[in-house]
Structure 1
Amino acid sequence: MSSKRILHVTSELVPYFNENPISSGVYNLAKQMFAQGNDVRIFMPRFGLINERRFQLHEVIRLSGMNLIINDLDQPLVIKVASLPGERMQVYFIENHEYFKRKSPYKNEANEWFEDNDERAVFFTKGVLETIKKLNWIPDIIHLHGWMASFLPIYLKNNYANDAFFSDIKVITSVYNQGSNGTFSNNLKAILEFDNIDTSKLNYLTDNKYVSIIKEAMEGSDTIVKGEEVLIDELEDMFKDSTNPKFDFIQNEDVQVIYQVTSEIKIQE
């Protein structure tokens, strides 16, 4: 396979998070493909639990001054970057104090999902897409990890469908159980519709459950991968029924075949 530009979009990554299926999975995939000569970059939220000084994050000044409108609210977008410790891989952090400064990434002190997790995920999604466009760095493949990244196919196929910058990008979704028991606020559809997304055309958004957004990402991706060996029944069933190229849970095997197959998929007109 010729060298590719691969973008990983994730909410968690070792060493900024403890080891779990997502944080370790992204790290291992990115490291392996980077070692094979690919241009690999990673985007994640800059949660409050990430120590800026310890990991030597610094603001990308040339990307400063961007704002995103989320559900009629004007929110500032700050981009910070660091090198993955021990590697020469760049990690970009999407920062916004309103959404990501909290010490807990997803839940409040009562262990309840944050009421605005839908807004936070949409901000993250739009922040990633607008940033790579401003960087003028066009990935060949975007690889998604976790429910917070699962909004990206919806926006690519709607808001950015006619943008030539994104026209040749292929999308891989790794499917995890993370967030499968969560429920977004009742404003979810209104947030998407504010961005002119026709939610009636989203096949799985019949409720506000996180798992529905994960299923939308699976349907909207070119390739799907099991990020965990055992998925909940709802996701397992969709994985089995999918007609898209798909790969079972991979541990120590060479992952290059995933990107090779995805890169060869023809763009549908």
Structure 2
Amino acid sequence: MHRNVLTDALGSEDMAVIFQDWSRKAEELQQEINYAIEFNNRLKAGILRLPIGLTERGAPIEVSDTSKSGVSLAIKQKFADVGSSQDTCYGGTSVDITNDGMIVRYYELNHDDMPPSRMNQREFTFPEPQDITDVAWDQTYSLRLVVTVNKNIPQTLLRGTKHFLKIIVLPPNDELEPYPATMPTTDEPDRIPNDEELQVINTAFGSREALAAKRITLDTKNVVISPALEAPAEVKSGILYINPNTLRGPPEQLKIIFEGHELCHLSGYDEQESRNLTIQYLIQHKLLSSHIEFLASNKIGLVVESNWLSCLKNLDKNLQGVSQRKITMVSPEVGLLAKAGGLADVLDGLSRALINLGHDVSIITILYDSIDREKFGIKDTGASVPVYIGKELTEARIYKTDINGIKVLLVYHPLYAKSMYLGVRQEHYDMAREAGFGVSTDRGWTLHELSFRQAVFFKEAALGAIVALGLNPDIIHLHDWQTGLIAASLKEELRYKNNPILNMAGIIFTIHNLGYQGRFDKHLLELTGLGWNVFTMDKLEFYDNINLLKAGIVYADIVNTVSQTYAQEIQTEPMGEGLSAALRMKGQDLLGILNGLDYGEFNPKTDRRIFFKYNSEGVLEKKLKNKIALRKLLRQEGFAIKEPEDLYAPLIGVVARLVSQ
């Protein structure tokens, strides 16, 4: 609800702000309650996806037999001291499930001795596995494990993927049996499902209305009951073959087994179109080849055709050409509009390259006062979004333009649009005072807070614009420290975590220069909308301050930087600038990708910026002529070029900042 309306209704602007703050908290509370109810229902139903580890990404998991009837899960977690170049193990957790019970062990961080000389160990032992309902500890680095375990749970139902540990937990009910590796079969011929069987399948997806909303049609034309099928289900040429015994499991378990796979034809589409849309569904719901392979290898879910499985496996390596992606870039610099360094050029070139590949690309940046609105055809969209900076409520106006075929959205606020990178220059203090910002006599602190507030504004405005304009991105691509808070909020704040437009998007965070990190006083965290639970060594905390570049590294699904060599270098000190441990924790999710070159623009045959154009013939002659002409131009510009000319002396030009790295 708009604040002006609330002010009129409640009689004062202060009351309007209090009401909006309260209503936002109430909404978050209701979302928490809904999440708890859903969690409890899934637990009772016997199906639980349990995230583990100190971050939402989980920890590496190894599964091994400890006995013929028992399973041991070694959850290996490595924590590194970000204040040291040492690679130090800080703690870990292990879970053992055997016929004799379940043992949970964890090692807590010793805060008084860093790095710790020894670990404090706590152990929980449960002689009756089916009675386990709650295991919890509340240290700074905490894990709450709430699980019901049937001691006959087979090893085939315990597997870890890269990002989470998925445990199918069966309630202590003798009537429910886990799916065996091979289903019971008979020689009966295949047949169409009867009404009762079809209803069971529909129920597993929620309802017929839910199916219709997804444009999925399950009827007698594309579902076959196959009593001779050994696997629970199988898809061939868009037809779902299902063993009738599979339908006797709980509906919730069926839903886990079948959801997101190529179950059937989509209404109105041929088989190939159906597959392409299914791939999009898999990507949007983060059910890529690791999930398909997990189910197929254990014969719990669909056994898909080999070429279809190969297609899904290749999806991880190369999504190009499979389907159009909606990509939203967020950056403080963009091409011709706002440039302080090479980041602006990267955004321009990368966006155009992705558009040429058929993707739908948009960029969000700030509409700085220095940008010529008329020159770049910038128009007001008529939309604005609320922006919370701590308890202060303001708004951002959204503008738009098109730069060389790239859709650009610009968010505006009269203070935070004053300049790029507010707070780095002394004159920004006067800008803030003139804009009505409550400056203090401590100029240094005012500039420090102003810089942080601009980052918070950018986070709130960018995410608000994505939702308000219905961008529905598949990928949110963030650039450098000014966007790190966006990654953290998407994973931590309920208002974003539960937003259907945002919570299905993958997050990529690009480090253009690790030397610029956005380090701020920890007390400013209260302005972000994040809780103090993120002020831990594995999240935003950095030498008792907060680090926005680290936020992007920790919370992004994928982190990439400008080359493979640089990606390797920054995983050790001193090139890691204090963040080498956090970067090593990303593992294979830290990538190095060379910045590309636009051969259409940087082509000596057509380049308008050089004196003498050339191609593969006559390279040396034309390059020498260009060198002579450039030296002449530099002398005219006042550069100290020695005379007489040494035509063969090297002439090196660099367009870059000179920094310590």
TM interval, short-chain normalised: 0.7 to 0.9
* Aligned residue type for 1:156: L
* Aligned residue type for 2:418: K
| 1:77 to 2:396 alignment | yes
Question: What secondary structure sits across from 2:583 in the alignment?
Answer: helix
The answer for the alignment partner of 1:266 in structure 2 is: none
> Deviation digits for residues 140-191 of structure 1, max 9, x if unmatched?
0011102111111111012211222222110111012276265324532221
Deviation at 1:3, TM superposition (A): 0.8
Shifted more, 127-136 versus 180-189: the winner is 180-189
* Aligned residue type for 2:507: V
> Deviation digits for residues 122-149 of structure 1, max 9, x if unmatched?
1111111111111112000011102111
Q: Distance in 2 between matches of 1:72 and 1:94?
A: 20
Q: Distance in 2 between matches of 1:195 and 1:242?
A: 22
Alignment of 1:1-269 (within 5 A): 1=320, 2-18=323-339, 20-61=341-382, 63-64=383-384, 66-84=385-403, 87-102=404-419, 105-109=422-426, 114-159=448-493, 160-177=496-513, 180=516, 182-192=518-528, 194-196=529-531, 198-200=533-535, 203-207=538-542, 212-227=547-562, 230=566, 232-234=575-577, 235=579, 238-252=582-596
> Deviation digits for residues 26-83 of structure 1, max 9, x if unmatched?
111111001111100000111222222222211111x13x322211112121011111
Deviation at 1:203, TM superposition (A): 2.2
Deviation at 1:246, TM superposition (A): 2.8
CA contact (8 A) 1:11 1:44 kept: yes
CA contact (8 A) 1:81 1:92 kept: yes
Q: Distance in 1 between matches of 2:373 and 2:596?
A: 32
Shifted more, 151-160 versus 241-250: the winner is 241-250
CA contact (8 A) 2:332 2:420 kept: no
> Deviation digits for residues 239-268 of structure 1, max 9, x if unmatched?
3552242321412389xxxxxxxxxxxxxx
CA contact (8 A) 1:46 1:94 kept: yes
Question: What secondary structure sits across from 2:415 in the alignment?
Answer: helix
**Rg larger in structure:** 2
Deviation at 1:107, TM superposition (A): 1.8
* Aligned residue type for 2:466: I
CA contact (8 A) 1:56 1:82 kept: yes
Change (3 A) 1:227 1:237: farther
Q: Distance in 1 between matches of 2:338 and 2:581?
A: 29
Q: Which runs of 5+ in 2 are unaligned?
A: 1-319, 429-443, 599-661
> Deviation digits for residues 94-124 of structure 1, max 9, x if unmatched?
1101222247645223797543222211111
Change (3 A) 1:139 1:179: same
CA contact (8 A) 1:150 1:216 kept: yes
CA contact (8 A) 2:449 2:524 kept: no
User: RMSD in angstroms over aligned alpha carbons?
Assistant: 2.8
Aligned length: 248
Change (3 A) 1:106 1:158: same
Percent sequence identity over matched residues? 20
Shifted more, 227-236 versus 135-144: the winner is 227-236
CA contact (8 A) 2:367 2:410 kept: yes
Q: Which runs of 5+ in 1 are unaligned?
A: 255-269
Q: Distance in 2 between matches of 1:223 and 1:104?
A: 25
Change (3 A) 1:153 1:134: same
Change (3 A) 1:157 1:241: closer
Question: TM (normalized to structure 2)?
Answer: 0.35
Q: Distance in 2 between matches of 1:245 and 1:17?
A: 30
